Amino acid sequence: MKIQQVTGFECAGVKGLVVVIDVLRAFTTAAFAFVAGAKEIILVGGIDEAFTLRESMPEALLMGEDRGIFIPGFDYGNSPAALIGENLNGRSLIQRTTAGTQGVVNSINADQIMCSSFVVADATVRLIQSFNPEQVTFVNTGIRPETQGYGREDIACSDYITALLHNETPNPEPYLQKVIASREGISHALNEDEKADIQCAIDLDRFDFAMLVHKENGRYILKPITP
């Protein structure tokens, strides 16, 4: 199995199995949303696209952010901690974020797409192994041209999952510490409303499911799957 990593702005030409990583916070939040009862999460790139799609799906809820800021008119932001104790009662979510969902919709040549973070790391490994792909490409979405120095938490997650795929038994603590010490991690820790999100993001293997994207009628639909 060949394994490589690319950034969120290099994923358009990648083929094969693509694993899109966003630890802080899109695909940590998505995992918490499934546990809260979401049926599916439709991943979109644009804010207007999210609102337009909701018009055709009036029961759907909007979740996400724009450059880290809550989007007026959305039902939820990009906080996994805010979903603890929520009851989404089988509803569909429409998620738009600045990094994570962009990595999915921009991976236009991928044959198969998964989304991951530390909270579903082991399940992600098991699902990848069940596919037995020739190549796996991790897309570290936190790294973008306009955000120099960011994205180290996504690299840490990709590195950790890669080590597991190589049948190694890595000590997870150094990888999780990189989340806390990352620029994004420090930024969230300084915000009283976002401190709890860091603890959610480093809760390794909290959930025993992976997250697989199904492309249906041009939509990127994320669903949980237990390998």
Condensed to tens digits (0 to 9), the pLDDT of residues 96-128 reads 999 999 999 999 999 999 999 999 999 999 999
**Structure token pair of residue 82:** 């805010």
pTM of the model: 0.97
Q: Give the number of domains in the chain.
A: 1
* pLDDT, position 150: 85
CATH code of residue 58: 3.90.1560.10
* pLDDT, position 101: 98
Give the pairing of strands 2-7 and 135-140.
parallel
* pLDDT, position 12: 95
What pLDDT digit, counting tens, does each position of 11-45 carry?
A: 999 999 999 999 999 999 999 999 999 999 999 99
Report residue 143's pLDDT band, with 50, 70 and 90 as the boundaries: confident
Which structural domain, as residue segments, surrounds residue 105?
Answer: 2-225
Three-state SS letters, the chain = CEEEEEECCCCCCCCCEEEEECCCCHHHHHHHHHHCCCCEEEEECCHHHHHHHHHHCCCCEEEECECCECCCCCCECCCCHHHCCCCCCCCEEEEECCCHHHHHHCCCCCCEEEEECHHHHHHHHHHHHHHCCCEEEEEECCCCCCCCCCCHHHHHHHHHHHHHHCCCCCCHHHHHHHHHHCHHHHHHHCCCCCHHHHHHHCCCCCCCCEEEEEEECCEEEEEEECC
pLDDT above 70 coverage of the chain, percent: 98
Q: Is residue 147 pLDDT above 90, yes or no?
A: no
Give the pairing of strands 112-116 and 2-7.
unpaired
When the pLDDT of each residue in the chain is averaged and rounded to a whole number, the result is: 96
Report residue 211's pLDDT band, with 50, 70 and 90 as the boundaries: very high
* pLDDT, position 146: 65
Q: Is residue 145 pLDDT above 80, yes or no?
A: no
Q: 73 vs 3, 93, 97, CA distance in Å?
A: 40, 14, 14
Angle, helices 121-131 vs 152-165, to 10°: value is 50
Calpha distance 182→151 (Å, rounded): 7
What pLDDT digit, counting tens, does each position of 165-206 carry?
A: 999 999 999 999 999 999 999 999 999 989 999 999 999 999
Report residue 149's pLDDT band, with 50, 70 and 90 as the boundaries: confident
Q: What is the mean pLDDT of residues 145-164?
A: 89
Q: Is residue 148 pLDDT above 80, yes or no?
A: no
